[in-house]
Chain A
Amino acid sequence: MPEIKVTPLGAGQDVGRSCILVSIGGKNIMLDCGMHMGYNDDRRFPDFSYITQNGRLTDFLDCVIISHFHLDHCGALPYMSEMVGYDGPIYMTHPTKAICPILLEDFRKITVDKKGETNFFTSQMIKDCMKKVIPLNLHQTVQVDDELEIKAYYAGHVLGAAMVHIKVGSESVVYTGDYNMTPDRHLGAAWIDKCRPDILISESTYATTIRDSKRCRERDFLKKVHESIERGGKVLIPVFALGRAQELCILLETFWERMNLKAPIYFSTGLTEKANHYYKLFITWTNQKIRKTFVQRNMFEFKHIKAFDRSYADNPGPMVVFATPGMLHAGQSLQIFKKWAGNEKNMVIMPGYCVQGTIGHKILNGQRKLEMEGRATLDVKLQVEYMSFSAHADAKGIMQLIRMAEPRNMLLVHGEAVKMEFLKGKIEQEFSIDCYMPANGETTTVTTNPSVPVDISLNLLKREMALGGPLPDPKKPRTMHGTLIMKENSLKLVSSEQALKELGLNEHQLRFTCHVQLQDPHSDADTLHRIYTHLKSVLKGYTIQHLPDGTVIVESIVIKVSSSAEDSNTKVLLLSWSYQDEDLGSFLSSLLKKGLPSGIC
C-alpha cells in the first residue's frame, strides 16, 4: 500500500519554526523552514539532523517550499541551505521572494550586530540562498520533476502568502501555511478548489477561537486609539513591518481623514516606506477593492503617516507609533516600550499573536513587572490592550477550508496542543475523517489507496457506453469485460479480441457437443419446431432462430434433431456450443434432458 508520511520538525503542537517534512510517492518535500521567536539558542532552528546526521540535505530533499515571508516560516532558510547545505530548488511566490530577504537581513542584524552572536548566517549567505529560489505564480502548475508537481493557491494572511498543493501521481497533500478565510482591508480571503487531497495540513493557531466580526474589532481598535489620543497619551503598536501594519495603516488613515485628527502617526524604520512600495507593485495580490481603484488612488500612499525618528519618542503630546518587531522581543518597538511603559496615560496595543518567552507574551498575561537585562526591572504602568488582528483562520475558517478541499485526512500543525485536541475532536465528529496532530519529530503515516490509471481502448469504451443507451444512467451501471495487458510501464485495457491480436496469439476454440435423447412421437421437423416453441417460451431475451436447414440456433448454440435408428419415437438431439456460451449450453442440455412439456404444438 502506498503511504504518505508527515513529520513536523517544527510547529508540531507548537507555534513557531514551522518545518514539516512530507514523503509522498517516493519524493521528500520540506514545507517551510522557520525559526522560533521564543528561543535564542539552538532550539530556534528546526533540528535538521533528523534528516541526516552527516552532511548536506540536497540528496534527501526533492524541494523546499516556503509559504510566506514571516520569519517563523522562512527564518531558518539561509541556515538550512548555506550552513547545513542544500542546493535543490526552493519555491516561493514573487512577493515572498521579494520581501523574505529583507526580513532575514533585519533579523540577522538584530541577532548578530545588536546581540553580538556569532556562528550565524551572513548577508552573503542570504543572497546565495535567494539565488536558489524559483518564484511561483498563483495557480501555476509547476513540474518539479517528471512526477512531482506543485500548485500555489491564494492564502490571504500576508502579501504573497500561499497554500500549496503537492501531487505525485494520484496522491496529493495540501499545506496551508498560515491563511485567512475572511477578506480584510487589504487582502482577499484564502481559496482552494475541491482538490480532495489525501492529507490537508492546516495551521491551527486559532483552533478554539471564533472571532466576532472584523468590523467590531476595527471599531474597538479605533475607539481605543482615539480615547488615548484625546487624553494626550501616546499609543505604541508593535507590528511586523509587512502585513498587519498595512491594514492598520489603511484603517487609521481613513479614520484620521474622516475625524480630521491632527495627532501625528509615525511608522518606524525605513523598511516601511519600502514595504508600502511592495504593496503598490504587487497590487495583484491584494483584494478586489484595492485592485479596482488603484489607478485612481493607490491605497498604499498614505497622507497622514510619516516616517519615525528615534528622537520623536520624547516629543510631548499625543502620537501613534507603529514599530517593529511585533512581539516586543527586540529592536525599536522594545526601546519605545521601555520609554513609555511608566506612564499610565500611554497605551500599547498588541495586534497579533505573541510567542511564549517574549515580552509581548508576558505583558499580555498581565505581568506588570518585567525583568530586563542587567537585573533591572521595569514597571509596566501603561495600558495593555490586545486586539486580534493577526490574519489566521479561526475554527470556523478551518472548517470552511475543509469543506472546500474535501481532504481524506486532516493534520494539524502550528497551534497549541490543547487547542488542537479540541479542534481535532470537532473535525472528526463533523467530517468523519481521521485527524492527526503529531508532535515535533513524530511521524504520521497515512496509507493511501489510489485508483490505478489505465488506458482503455476507445472501441471497447464506446461499445460499452453504447450498451447503456445514448445517455449514461447512473442508476444502471454497465458491466464491462476486457483484458488488461500489462507491459513494461503501460497498462492497457482492450477487448479480448484485440488483446489476442496485439499479443500475436492465436485463439483456441473450445467446443462441446452433447447428445440428448428425447421421447417425442412426432416427425423430426415437428420435434424441432416443438423445441423451438418451448425454448421461445423459456428463454426470454435470447435470440432464437429456426433455420430452414433443420437447425435451431440459440445465440450461437446449434441444436439438431435426428431419429434414433431403432425407435422413431426416440429422438436424438445434438447440441453444440463453444466455450464462450458455456453457461447457456450447459443449461440447455439439462433443460432438454427433462423432455418437452406436453401441450405445445
Chain B
Amino acid sequence: MKLYCLSGHPTLPCNVLKFKSTTIMLDCGLDTTSVLNFLPLPLVHSPRLSKLPGWVSKDGTINLEKRELLDLSTIDVILISNYHCMMALPYITEHTGFTGTVYATEPTLQIGRLLMEELVNFMERVPKAQSATSWKNKEIRRMLPGPLKDAVDVWMWKRCYSMQEVNSALSKVQLVGYSQKVELFGAVQVSPLSSGYSLGSSNWIIQSHHEKVSYVSGSSLLTTHPQPMDQSSLKNSDVLILTGLTQMPTANPDGMLGEFCSNLAMTIRAGGNVLVPCYSSGVIYDLLECLYQFIESANLGTTPFYFISPIANSSLEFSQIFAELCHNKQTKVYLPEPPFPHAELIQTNKLKHYPSIHGDFSSEFRQPCVVFTGHPSLRFGDVVHFMELWGKSSLNTIIFTEPDFSYLDALAPYQPLAMKCVYCPIDTRLNFHQVSKLLKEVQPLHVVCPEQYTQPPLTQSHRSDLMLELQPPPMPYRRCSVLNLPFRRRYERIYILPELANSLVPSEIKPGVSVATVSALLHSKDNKHTLQSVPKPPPMPPSKKRKRVIEEPPVALAPKPMLSGAVALEAFLATLQKHGITEVKVEETADGHILHLQAEDTLIQLEEDGTHIVCDSEPLRTTLRDLVLRFLQKL
C-alpha cells in the first residue's frame, strides 16, 4: 500500500494510491500560478504591455503537477473530487498510454468541461505569432531576467491543451452519484461522498472488506449552495488522506462576503465600476445570491451586472439543473422554481451575460456597472481588457474573491494603477479548527496530509493554531514523496458456497467458539474468491483403497488436521476395554504414562502434548489410532 505524491500544492492535489493490485489516481489539479510569470494576453496588441521592462511576453504555459515518479499508463482509475481538481486531466489521459476510467459526478464533469472550454477559448482566441521553447534550456534560462531565472521546474511547464484533447479526455469519464458503490476489478470498492464545497464536489472512500481509505479533498461545512458534507461515512478509516483545506485560514468567508458587498456598493454609489475577476462557476453563484438579497436594500436596483465569459450562459443554466445536489434548494424545485435566484436576476434584466466583450456587449454596455469575468490570474481572458480600460481611474474598484493567486503578483504588470484594490478572498473550504473537530469525530487511525499543514504558515509562524496537531502525528508528504501507508492487511473476504457450508461439521472448542476443518476447492475470478466442495469425496471405501495402495502411492489427499487436547488415561483405558483390549500394564513416567498392551505387544505412550503408538500390526494400529482420535480435537 503506497501513496505517490505528484503534487506539492495542497489545494490542487495529485496523488496515486496503490491498493490491492489497483492503481488509483486521486485528483489531477492543475497549478496555473506559473502564468503569473507571463505577461497578460490582451485581446488587442498593447504597446504598453510589450514594452514593460523586466517581463517577457510568452505563450501561456502551465505548470503541470506530475513527474515521472511512476508510469501514467499503469493508472487504472482516476477519481475526481471537484471541478477545480480535474483541470490537468488531458495531460494525464492523452498521449500517455492511459487506458483507464475516470470517475466523477455529473456536475463535476459538466462544469469541469465548461471551465476547460473556457481556458482553451481564452488561449486560442489570442493566437501567438510565434512560440518559443528553447528558453527553457538551462543555459539560456540562466541569462533570463528575474522571476523566470528563479522559477523552478520550468521544463515541466506545458502548453495549454486543445479542445480536441479535452473532449477525448472527458470521454473517459464515467458518471457516478453520491454514495454509489463502484467496484474496481472486484478488489476495491470506491464511493463518492458529498463534500459540501461546490456543485457535485465529493470526497472518496476507497475500501475493501477489511481496509478503508478516505480521501478528503476540498470540503466545506459552511451553508453555501452545495449539498452538505457527508461526515459520518468517513468514520472508521484506517487512513485518511487530507488535502484541500482553506487557503485563507484567517479570513472568515461570511465577513469577506460582507466586505465584498459594502465595497461594491460604495464604488457604485461614487460612480465607479466594479471588476470582479473570478472563475465562471463556484463562488460566483454565492456572490450572485448574496447580491440578489443585497441589491434592493443597497439601492442598486438600476445598476447593471455583467457576467462575461464564453461559458457564462452555460454555467448559469447548468447550475439550475443540479438541484438534487443542492443544499436547501430542493424545496424550491418542488414548487417548481429555479433553485438559484440568479434566474430571477436574469429575468428582470439585472444580470446580463455575454460570451465576450465583442458583439452585443459593446452596444449594451452601460456604466457604472459590475463586471464578473475571468481569468482570476489577470493574465488572460476578458478581464485583461477591463484592467486596461478601468485601471487608470481611482473611481473604479477591483475586488479579488478567488484565493488561488496572490493579488499583488496578479496586479504587477498593470502597475502603476489608480484603481482601488480590495482583497476579499472567499474560501469556504475547511479551516484548521473545523478539520480537527472533524478528525476527532471520524477518528481515522492515520492521517496523511501535505507537509504545509504540519507547520504554521511561513508568514505567521507563531500561529500554532494554523496547523494540524494530531495524535499520532499526521504523516506529511511533499511533492515526489512515496509514502508507505501503515497498513497490515490480514484478512480477505471469501465466499463459501452453500453446498460446502452445509457439509461442514462444526465442533465446539470453548463455549461460544466452534471450529470446523475445511477442505475445499478455491476459485479465484475477478479478485473474488469462492470455496466449493471438492467434487470427489476424499475418503475411499477401505477395501478399494487397500487394493489401490498396492499399485500406487496415495495421491495427496486432504492433509490430516492438526490435533489438540489430551488423552485422559482412565477414559482411554475404559475405551480400550470396550474394544476387547484388557491386558494393559500402565507405567508412570515423568511426562505421562506408558501403556503396554501385552497381548498385542504394543506400546502406547500417553503424554500431555503427544501420543506415540508403537505397533507392528496395521489393523490394530488403525484401531488404536481411531480410539485416540476420539479424545482429540481436530483443527
Contacts and interface: CB of A to CB of B under 8 A. Distances in A.
A516 B179 CA distance: 70
Interface string B339-353: 100000000000000
B504 A283 contact: no
A399 interface: no
Contacts of A457: 490-491
Interface string A34-57: 000000000000000000000000
Contact of A451 (B497, B512, B514, B517): B497
B495 interface: yes
Contacts of B191: 141
Interface in B489-526: 489-498, 501, 504, 506, 509-510, 512-525
B616 A483 contact: no
Interface stretch (B93-101, B319-327, B371-379): B319-327
A486 B521 contact: no
A277 B323 CA distance: 13
B550 interface: yes
A483 B559 CA distance: 12
A539 to B, nearest CB: 5
A485 to B, nearest CB: 5
A141 B180 contact: yes
Contact of A484 (B516, B534, B608, B628): B516
A512 B613 contact: yes
B181 interface: yes
Given A137-B324, A507-B609, A583-B557, A295 B314 contact: yes
B506 A486 contact: yes
A282 to B, nearest CB: 7
Contacts of A482: 517-518
Contact of B516 (A94, A98, A483): A483
A168 to B, nearest CB: 15
Interface string A478-494: 11111111111000110
A465 B524 contact: yes
A538 interface: yes
A487 B512 contact: yes
A138 B323 contact: no
B308 to A, nearest CB: 17
Interface stretch (A220-228, A497-505, A524-532): A497-505
A583 B519 contact: no
A472 B524 contact: yes
B16 to A, nearest CB: 23
A94 B324 contact: yes
A587 B497 CA distance: 34
Interface in A277-313: 277-278, 280-284, 294-295
B281 to A, nearest CB: 13
B334 A97 contact: yes
Given A479-B521, A481-B518, A487-B513, A508 B632 contact: yes
B106 interface: yes
B210 interface: yes
A464 B198 CA distance: 47
Nearest to A580: B560
Given A451-B498, A539-B553, A484 B512 contact: no
Interface in B543-575: 546, 549-550, 553-554, 557-567
A472 B523 CA distance: 9
Given A281-B320, A507-B609, A587 B553 contact: yes
A85 interface: no
A509 interface: yes
Contacts of B520: 479-480
Given A295-B314, A487-B513, A513-B614, A505 B336 contact: no
A470 interface: no
A538 B633 CA distance: 34
A591 B618 CA distance: 12
Contact-size category for B: 35 or more
Contact of A587 (B532, B554, B615): B554
A510 B628 contact: yes
B177 A282 contact: no
B418 interface: no
A280 to B, nearest CB: 8
B18 interface: no
Nearest to B181: A141
Contacts of A539: 553
Given A480-B522, A503-B515, A538-B553, A579 B498 contact: no
A135 B324 contact: yes
Nearest to B499: A449
B338 interface: yes
A599 to B, nearest CB: 19
Nearest to A275: B336
Contacts of A147: none
A514 interface: yes
Interface in B273-317: 313-314, 317
A352 to B, nearest CB: 24
Contacts of B524: 465, 472
Contact of B180 (A139, A449, A542): A139
B587 to A, nearest CB: 17
A94 B332 CA distance: 12
A510 B610 contact: yes
A486 B560 contact: no
A101 to B, nearest CB: 8
B207 to A, nearest CB: 13
Residue of A97, A513, A589 with most partner-chain B CB within 10 A: A513
B553 A542 contact: yes
A429 interface: no
Contact of B495 (A97, A140, A451, A488): A451
B635 interface: yes
Interface in A379-405: none
A514 B492 contact: no
A274 B334 CA distance: 10
Contact of B490 (A458, A500, A512, A587): A458
Most interface-central of B176, B558, B612 (chain A CB within 10 A): B612
Contacts of A496: 517, 561-562, 635
A281 B616 contact: no
B579 interface: no
Contacts of A512: 612-615, 621, 625
B630 interface: no
A385 to B, nearest CB: 33
**Of B336, B338, B492, B496, which is in contact with the most chain A CB atoms at under 10 Å from its CB?**
B336
Given A94-B323, A284-B321, A590-B549, A479 B534 contact: yes
Contacts of A594: 550
Contact of A461 (B492, B512, B612): B492
Interface in A245-293: 274, 277-278, 280-284
A481 to B, nearest CB: 5
B322 to A, nearest CB: 7
A488 B563 CA distance: 23
Lowest 6 A-B CB distances belong to which pairs? A509-B610, A496-B562, A451-B495, A455-B491, A456-B494, A139-B180
Interface of A: 94, 97-98, 101, 135, 137-142, 151, 274, 277-278, 280-284, 294-295, 449-458, 461, 464-465, 472, 474, 477-488, 492-493, 496-497, 499-500, 503, 505-516, 538-540, 542, 579-584, 586-587, 589-591, 594
10 contacts: A141-B181, A295-B314, A480-B522, A481-B559, A484-B517, A485-B513, A497-B562, A503-B509, A510-B611, A512-B621
Interface of B: 106, 176-181, 191, 209-210, 313-314, 317-318, 320-325, 330, 333-334, 336, 338-339, 489-498, 501, 504, 506, 509-510, 512-525, 529-532, 534, 546, 549-550, 553-554, 557-567, 608-616, 618, 621-622, 625, 628-629, 632-633, 635
Given A451-B501, A512-B615, A513-B612, 16 more contacts: A137-B179, A140-B178, A278-B333, A450-B498, A454-B495, A458-B491, A464-B522, A477-B523, A479-B522, A480-B519, A483-B516, A492-B491, A496-B562, A583-B557, A584-B554, A589-B618
